[in-house]
Amino acid sequence: MANLSLRGLDSSTLSRLKSNARRRGVSVNRLIVETLQQQYSAGTKSFDDLDALAGTWTKAEADAFAAAVAPFAEIDAALWAAEPKTTYRVRRAAGRRPRK
């Protein structure tokens, strides 16, 4: 097996790596190796999209879904009218003069 030296890693990233490794009960080295293997293993590619679901619903299922989510498109004007108007104040940094 090959060895690899990792340079230029910032302390924040190292801290997150150590925390994640501790939580999983593995060494930081094992965590990095597993992560690289998952990312770059030949032939296995994971997808995080919904392409596999495209076109799988029947017309009845699609209609039922559309009917179920239709109320989400309605806007209740009373809810918006009840919102208080807020005022935002911007504080100037100490020692700075206001712009002219």
Measured CA to CA, the distance from residue 59 to residue 37 in angstroms comes to: 41
User: What pLDDT is stored for residue 63 in this prediction?
Assistant: 95
**What's residue 67's pLDDT?**
95
Two tokens at 100? 């002219």
Residue ranges in the chain modelled with pLDDT below 50 = none
CA atoms within 13 A on the CB side of 43: 0
Distance CA 66, CA 64 (A): 6
Render pLDDT for 13-33 as a digit per residue (tens, 0 to 9): 999 999 999 999 999 999 999
How far is 16 from 39, CA to CA, in rounded Å? 18
16-42: b (≥16 Cβ within 10 Å) or e: ebeeebeeeeeeeeebeeeeeeeeeee
